[in-house]
Amino acid sequence: MAKLRGTGIAAVNYPTGMNLGGDPSQALIHATTTGTFVISLSSTDLGQGLKTVIAQIGAETLGVPFENVLIDTADTDTGPHCMGTFASRATHRVGNAVIMAAKEARKVMLEVAAEELEASPDDLDTDGQGNIYVKGSPERKIDITSVALAAHFKYGRSISGRGMYIKPKSPVDPETGKMDPDSTEAHACVVAEVEVDTETGEVTVLSLKSAYEVGCQVNPALVREQIIGGAFMGMSHALYETTAPYYPSPDHAPGSFSEYVIPGPHELPHIESVVLEYPSVNGPYGVKGVGEMTANAPIPAIINAISNAIGVRLTEYPVTPEKILRALERSPKLKQPAQTGA
Amino acid sequence: MSEVTSAVARDVKKEFHVVGKSVPRRDGVGHVTGKTVYVDDISFPGMLHLKMVRSPIHHGIIRNVDFSAAEKVPGFVRVLTHRDVPKNIYTILCLIGVGPDEEPVLAVDRVLYKGEPIAAIVAETEEAAMEAVSRVRLDLEELPAVFDVEEALKPGAPILKPWGTNYFVYEGHHCRRVRFGDVEKGFAQADYIIEEVYNTSPIEHAPTETTACVAKPEPDGRYTVYTNTQALFFTMDNTALILQVPFSKLHFVGGTVGGGFGGKVDVIVEPIATLAAMKTGCPVKFKYTREEEMRVSSTRSAWRMYFKDGVMKDGRIIARKVISYADSGAYNRHTPYAVTKHAANVAGPYFIPNVYIDAYCVYTNRQPASAMRGFGVTPASFAVECQMDKIAETIGMDPWEIRFINAYRNGDMRPHQKVVEDATLIEVMKAAAELAGHQLPEHLLKMHSWDREKA
């Protein structure tokens, strides 16, 4: 018996968004009397932080503080259509829709501010701190609340905007498969280091070191959470998870978390990652999608590392201890210990 | 324990006020303190509970269903069968033209997987609903079942679909095809032919919050449905079509989901719970148990992928043929589209001049597969990257070098005839190697994704 170490790599692409029958999302923005901006959507936050990053994108384009932006989602009576949160599409699609709506609302906001400041709207800018000022003479400024109050009670202007983003339908050519199925591609490379216990067949993932290229990050902490959460899910897929342990046999289907094995926090490996930012051509502020891919790249990296450790190529996941023990019987690396009768 | 750093590349200008900043997640405190309201926290006076009578067998004919003992359970309110569902046979992608309809909301005369819903019981409490379900007497005639994707395509396999095959038909074809260059010519020129078969398992999404909804009749004749779907309008529109009610009769509320991963883009609990609310006039909750989530709800599909690559001594892959089979389980759900997405990505992030892909969506007597994080690309990335290591080993090349040599670059044509315009595979490989302390040779460090060096 021995503990064998191995290293494996994987390099992957991941497409942002889908395109089945056209892939749209919409956003509506309006300002309240006191300058709170409400972004109405019907988009879903799965826990990844969509409501937060969309508020950031809205605040940036409007030029108002993050705290002034509220996300109102998801209600089909009040929120305009969104295809849904899947296919690593939400930040890209909804973000683009919000930028369009925010630009329209910002235009009205600057026009009202221009009236109040007796300046041209073209000469105005926002400071992101809640003020609109005359470029070149920052002391001539007005706060957002005053602008919103003036818009409502003095000028009768609606500070609001409509936004829509669509990836148009691109049918697949049935003969050649020619298609335009996505908007951009994110990339990742993972280096996995594992240790295999040849007596029990158990694998310890020692480290996952990776580089992700996800376009520009709207919120680096949330990207980091995706990378760490995805690494954990990928590791779990590679080593543990299945609803059919003896696939294709349907027997022994797990019905609870005591049978469906998922690693615990103490099994989290050392994770290090570097994020590269190459802006996408069509994402809001250059983003691509990071949601799904972080669970993909670790799987082949871990499995290649196990193959490297034991000297047998593994071709299916999950790589359970049983599969490793069976593979070890074919391993040239273990011939020596086996003959000496461990 | 973990460390993620950012390196700003190229000409990204960080002159934003809030984009690019790690502002705290707004709903984070609610999530970690248990204050966030999820669907199961929603309750109304007089709310009823729905539970499903499910098939105990993988494949069979329904001879008779006897509810007489169930009806005697205290708290029993009513039963719903396929006769109560206005448009019982549906397919969830019908809104964007995918067909034909093939999945029943409630089984009619046949069941195709263990756990398939046969009838819905509505009762005053969850316990009464479960008790009544346990007293329903099913008279089923078991039929031979098929669980293996290739067995399902052989002559003599039990046929599961009314159109007479066990595969989804893509515009007249058995499978989703990709044809690029001349793969046989590539094999003839290759120094090595390297083949392998890769398999993946069906996987559960395992969300913290199970699939659930509450449907509530409103005084104005509309129905409000509180749901944890990942796609609010998609679910509402499908529900209206299944129930044959005007779209304006429905009002869906959601937006906060305790884990989706693709498992909540099926339209499963909402139509039947809304129907139950219509039939009873009461709010109705339908919440999956953990066992239902694991044994009944959609899984990630299992895949079998046959790879055949033609490789030159210098490491260039000049031909790749892939035959893939996705195990869709008993019904379509989202798998026909997962197969298309797979076909667009199974050549990997590499430039290969000759590619031939046949990707099949196959039906078996298994709980349906559907969308899951990675959706057709997860198995593709797994197989491609294991195959890259096999190629490197076979021809005696370093695993990093084989990937650099073949990496796609901007301007390259992918097999589905889309030009690459945002490649950064070489850049992430260089960054990962550096992070891992692996010294790459000079000729690889000189490479980049922007355009091809002159040969």
User: Is A246 within 8 Å of B386 (Cβ atoms)?
Assistant: no
**ipTM value for the complex:** 0.96
**In the numeric block, which tokens belong to residue B8?**
């700003």
Strands B60-66 and B110-111: antiparallel
Q: With CB atoms and an 8 Å threshold, state whether A253 touches B295.
A: yes
Average pLDDT, integer, range A205-217: 97
Residues 6 or more apart whose Cβ sits within 8 Å of residue A12: A187, A188, A189, A293, A296, A297, A300, B348, B349, B381, B384, B385
> Is the model's pLDDT at B58 over the cut of 60?
yes
Q: Is B75 exposed, middle or buried (0-12, 13-18, 19+ CB in 10 A)?
A: middle
> Is the model's pLDDT at B11 over the cut of 80?
no
User: Is A295 within 8 Å of A238 (Cβ atoms)?
Assistant: no
Give all strands (DSSP E) within A198-308, no chain letters. Answer: 203-213, 270-277
Question: For the domain A20-167, what is the CATH code?
Answer: 3.30.365.10
Q: How many CA atoms lie within 13 A of B351 on its CB side?
A: 19
Give the gap in angstroms from C-alpha A3 to the nearest C-alpha of chain B.
21
Domain boundaries for CATH 3.30.365.10 within chain B: 176-203+298-397
Residue A108's pLDDT band, with cuts at 50, 70 and 90, is very high
Strand partners, B178: B357
* Predicted pLDDT of residue A341: 41
> What is the Cα–Cα distance from A281 to A288, expressed in whole angstroms?
9
pLDDT digits (tens, 9 = 90+) for B273-314: 999 999 999 999 999 999 999 999 999 999 999 999 999 999
Report how far apart, in Å, the C-alpha atoms of B436 and of each of A209, A274, A290, B163, B224 are: 6, 11, 21, 53, 53
Q: Write the residue in A13, A172, A295 that is nearest to B340 by C-beta.
A: A172
Of B453, B421, B412, whose CA–CA distance to B180 is shortest? B412
Any idea what the Cα angle at residue B101 is, between residues B95 and B104, rounded to 5°? 115
Report how far apart, in Å, the C-alpha atoms of B368 and of each of B157, B158, B263, B348 are: 18, 17, 11, 27
Sheet holding B212-217, edge to edge: B76-80, B117-123, B48-54, B284-287, B212-217, B223-227, B250-253
> Is the model's pLDDT at B12 over the cut of 70?
no
Q: Single out the catalytic residue among A202, A292, A322, A329.
A: A292
> What is the Cα–Cα distance from B57 to B73, expressed in whole angstroms?
25
- Other CB atoms within 10 A of residue B101 CB: 16
> Is the model's pLDDT at B27 over the cut of 70?
yes
Give percent of chain B with pLDDT exceeding 90. 93
**In the numeric block, which tokens belong to residue B270?**
């909402």
Q: With CB atoms and an 8 Å threshold, state whether A74 touches B202.
A: no
pLDDT digits (tens, 9 = 90+) for A53-78: 999 999 999 999 999 999 999 999 99
> What is the Cα–Cα distance from B384 to B196, expressed in whole angstroms?
10
In order, the DSSP letters of B170-231 are BTTBSSEEEEES-HHHHHHH-SEEEEEEEEE--B----SSPSEEEEEE-TTS-EEEEE--S-
Average pLDDT, integer, range A221-242: 96
Mean pLDDT, rounded, of chain B: 95
Residue A342's pLDDT band, with cuts at 50, 70 and 90, is very low
Q: Is B199 exposed, middle or buried (0-12, 13-18, 19+ CB in 10 A)?
A: middle
> B48-143+206-295: which CATH number, 3.90.1170.40, 3.90.1170.50, 3.20.20.70, 3.30.70.600?
3.90.1170.50
Average pLDDT, integer, range B335-364: 97
Domains A3-15+182-339 and A20-167 share a fold: yes
Residue A182's pLDDT band, with cuts at 50, 70 and 90, is very high
User: Is A242 within 8 Å of B203 (Cβ atoms)?
Assistant: yes
Average pLDDT, integer, range B159-176: 96
> Is the model's pLDDT at A304 over the cut of 50?
yes
Specify the DSSP class assigned to residue A268.
Answer: P
Exposure letters A36-53 (e unless 16+ CB within 10 A, then b): bbbbbbbbbbbbbbbbbb
Report domain extents, chain A. 3-15+182-339, 20-167
Among B55, B358, B373, the strongest candidate for a mutation testing the A interface, having the largest count of A CBs within 10 A, is B373
Q: With CB atoms and an 8 Å threshold, state whether A189 touches B432.
A: yes
For helices B399-406 and B377-395, angle between their N-to-C axes, nearest 10 degrees: 120
> Is the model's pLDDT at B454 over the cut of 70?
no
Among A46, A52, A92, A173, the strongest candidate for a mutation testing the B interface, having the largest count of B CBs within 10 A, is A46
Give the gap in angstroms from C-alpha B20 to the nearest C-alpha of chain A.
4
> What is the Cα–Cα distance from B373 to B333, expressed in whole angstroms?
15
* Predicted pLDDT of residue B451: 73
> Is the model's pLDDT at B455 over the cut of 70?
no
Question: For the domain A3-15+182-339, what is the CATH code?
Answer: 3.30.365.10
Q: Name which CATH class applies to B176-203+298-397.
A: alpha beta
Q: What backbone phi and psi angles, to 5 degrees, belong to B96?
A: -115, 30
Provide, as residue numbers in chain A, all residues whose Cβ is less than 8 Å from the Cβ of B432: 9, 11, 189-191, 209-211, 274
- Backbone torsion region of residue B167, taken as left when φ is above 0, otherwise alpha when ψ lies between -120 and 50, otherwise beta: beta
Of B276, B433, B229, B233, whose CA–CA distance to A301 is shortest? B433
> Is the model's pLDDT at B432 over the cut of 60?
yes
Q: Write the residue in A42, A45, A185 that is nearest to B422 by C-beta.
A: A185
pLDDT digits (tens, 9 = 90+) for B80-122: 999 999 999 999 988 888 889 999 999 999 999 999 999 999 9
Strands B89-90 and B103-104: antiparallel
Lowest-pLDDT range of A148-157, A323-332, B138-147:
A323-332
Task: Identify the closest residue of chain A to B181 by CA–CA distance.
Answer: A176
pLDDT digits (tens, 9 = 90+) for A252-280: 999 999 999 898 888 999 999 999 999 99
Give the gap in angstroms from C-alpha A281 to the nearest C-alpha of chain B.
8
pLDDT, greater one: B98 or B429: B429
A-B C-beta contacts closer than 8 Å: 420
User: Is A246 within 8 Å of A185 (Cβ atoms)?
Assistant: no
User: Is B452 within 8 Å of B411 (Cβ atoms)?
Assistant: yes
Residue A18's pLDDT band, with cuts at 50, 70 and 90, is confident
Average pLDDT, integer, range A291-314: 97
- Residue B242: what residue type? I
pLDDT, greater one: B300 or A333: B300
Residue with structure tokens 């263990």? B114
- Other CB atoms within 10 A of residue A206 CB: 15
Handedness of CA B440, B441, B445, B450 (dihedral sign): negative
Average pLDDT, integer, range A115-140: 97
**In the numeric block, which tokens belong to residue A63?**
């030029």
Among B1, B6, B19, B153, the strongest candidate for a mutation testing the A interface, having the largest count of A CBs within 10 A, is B19
Q: Any catalytic annotation for residue A292?
A: yes
> What is the Cα–Cα distance from A56 to B348, expressed in whole angstroms?
34
pTM of the entire structure?
0.96
Provide, as residue numbers in chain A, all residues whose Cβ is less than 8 Å from the Cβ of B299: 243
Task: Identify the closest residue of chain A to B414 by CA–CA distance.
Answer: A178
Q: With CB atoms and an 8 Å threshold, state whether A248 touches B364.
A: yes
Q: With CB atoms and an 8 Å threshold, state whether A83 touches B231.
A: yes
Q: Write the residue in B2, B291, B431 that is nearest to A228 by C-beta.
A: B2
Give the gap in angstroms from C-alpha B43 to the nearest C-alpha of chain A.
18
Of B320, B85, B305, B301, whose CA–CA distance to B193 is shortest? B320
**In the numeric block, which tokens belong to residue B300?**
């990630």
